[in-house]
Amino acid sequence: MTADPETRLRADARRNRDQILAAARLIFAAQGAEVPMEEIARSAGVGVGTLYRRFPDRDALIRAVAVDNFDRVLRDARAAKDQEPSDWDALIRLLHQSMELQLSIQLAMVSPRALAILRSDPAIKALRDELLVVLSGFVQGAQAEGRLREDVGTGDVAMLFATLLRQMPGKGEEVARIAMRRCIGIMIDGLRAGQNESLPGRALTGDDLDP
């Protein structure tokens, strides 16, 4: 173990570093990992110089964000497993952590650059795999409980959320087409009248689409 090299920063430097990471998390989640460095710096309230001093290039920043994010999600997932009464509830709870999950998905499934980094970094890859195992546990558990429909797999759930967030690049063309159809099918089932939870907020009308 390398003693973490960020401990010996001057107080203000540490603060800035944290702000940069927080800003990057927000921006990456919302817009993907290809955002101009200057925008991240501005949003963090620092100059680009500061950003580059702490993270030598974009890849380093992405790596840092990715580790942080996967770690959080994994922690959340385990907390859900412990605290919720069933796998179905744990899954639902996890799916509602939208912001973290959205960031994970951007990094792991949408941004080509981030994807390349994840692949090349064994530590991150390990985190990702670990997460996938936990997720699979939820899916199979919830199915065993009779609460999750039998005809979906872990990939469906992930794809559903990924597709919800963006059309994925590449992804074998064939799988993407199939995945798309399945997502639409699931969503249509979600639209059916019947035993549903009530939705938050009010029904959106056509006018809500305008501006």
Partner DNA sequence: ACGTATGCGGATGGTTTCATTCCGCTTATG
Partner DNA sequence: CATAAGCGGAATGAAACCATCCGCATACGT
Question: Cβ of residue 53: shortest distance to a second copy, in angstroms?
Answer: 31
The residue among 12, 10, 36, 11 whose CA lies nearest residue 23 is 36
Question: Cβ of residue 5: shortest distance to DNA, in angstroms?
Answer: 10
109 counts as binding a second copy under rule CB under 8 A = yes
Cα 169 to Cα 185: distance, rounded to the nearest angstrom: 21
Q: Which is nearer to DNA, 8 or 202 (CB)?
A: 8
Per partner kind, with CB cut-offs from 5 to 8 A, the member of a second copy, DNA, none near residue 36 is DNA
Contact 69, 100 (CB under 8 A): yes
Q: Which is nearer to a second copy, 32 or 72 (CB)?
A: 32
Residue 156 neighbours by CB under 8 Å, 6+ apart: 179, 182, 183, 186
193 counts as binding a second copy under rule CB under 8 A = yes
37 counts as binding DNA under rule CB under 7 A = yes
Question: Cβ of residue 9: shortest distance to DNA, in angstroms?
Answer: 4
49 counts as binding DNA under rule CB under 7 A = yes
Cα 42 to Cα 18: distance, rounded to the nearest angstrom: 14
The dihedral region occupied by 84, where left means phi > 0, alpha psi between -120 and 50, and beta the remainder, is beta
Distance, CA of 211 to chain centre: 27
Binding residues among 144-183 for a second copy as defined by CB under 8 A: 146-160, 163-167, 171-172, 175, 178-183
Cα 155 to Cα 148: distance, rounded to the nearest angstrom: 14
Per partner kind, with CB cut-offs from 5 to 8 A, the member of DNA, a second copy, none near residue 57 is DNA
Total residues in contact with a second copy, by rule CB under 8 A: 66
Binding positions for DNA, rule: CB under 7 A: 9-13, 16, 34, 36-38, 45-50, 52-54, 56-58
